[in-house]
Amino acid sequence: MAKALGIRPIAEAQEEHEEMRSVTVVEEEQPTEIQKFESEEVTEHKTDLELARQNVKNIIEMGDDAVKEMVEIAKQSESPRAFEVVSTLMKTLLDANKDFVDISSKKKFEQEDAPAKETNVTNNNLIVSTADLLKMIKGEDDV
């Protein structure tokens, strides 16, 4: 039957397949344009996160000093408006602290979720109709 189909016997194909399994193929992967763009984008994102983190940290530090000074002013003036300003400033600093924690956790998850290497798989399939298969068996060349 193998002769009629013009193919090798199954035993030979299995032996060759076993030999091919034992061969280790090492391919050197060159970064594609997409991978280069993604790595630049990831680096830029990390830089932006770090910059935002530093800005929020600086605002929190300055806000701490401002709260201390505002509390002293509010105590001395005993003005309700001064205490209102202090409470608003404290609320703003609490929000900034929450933002700082969010940015830090995003940065941590960015490092943990490093992009995995993409692999390309190519499957070669022969799709033939039954009529074409019969022509191949009979040896007709117009397929």
Does residue 108 sit within a domain?
yes
Instruction: State the pLDDT at residue 101.
Output: 86
Interhelix angle for 33-77 vs 80-112, to 10°? Answer: 160
Q: What is the pLDDT of residue 130?
A: 86
Residue 22 lies in a domain: no
The residue behind tokens 């609490």 is: 94
* Res 138: pLDDT: 86
CATH number for 56: 1.10.287.1060
Let me know if residue 89 belongs to a domain: yes
pLDDT value of residue 25: 47
Question: What is the widest separation between alpha-carbon atoms in the chain?
Answer: 107
Query: Which pLDDT score is estimated for 135?
Result: 85
- Please tell me the predicted confidence (pLDDT) of residue 24: 47
Segments forming the whole domain that contains residue 104: 35-113
Task: Provide the pLDDT for residue 5.
Answer: 62
Could you list the mean pLDDT of each consecutive 10-residue stretch along the chain, which spans 143 residues?
Answer: 65 66 52 61 80 86 88 89 89 88 78 62 75 83 59
Contact criterion met (CB below 8 Å) for 67 and 93: yes
For residue 29, is it within any domain?
A: no
Residue 27: inside a domain = no
Domain count, the chain: 1
**Within-domain flag for 120:** no
Instruction: Indicate whether 51 belongs to any domain.
Output: yes
Question: Is residue 127 domain-resident?
Answer: no
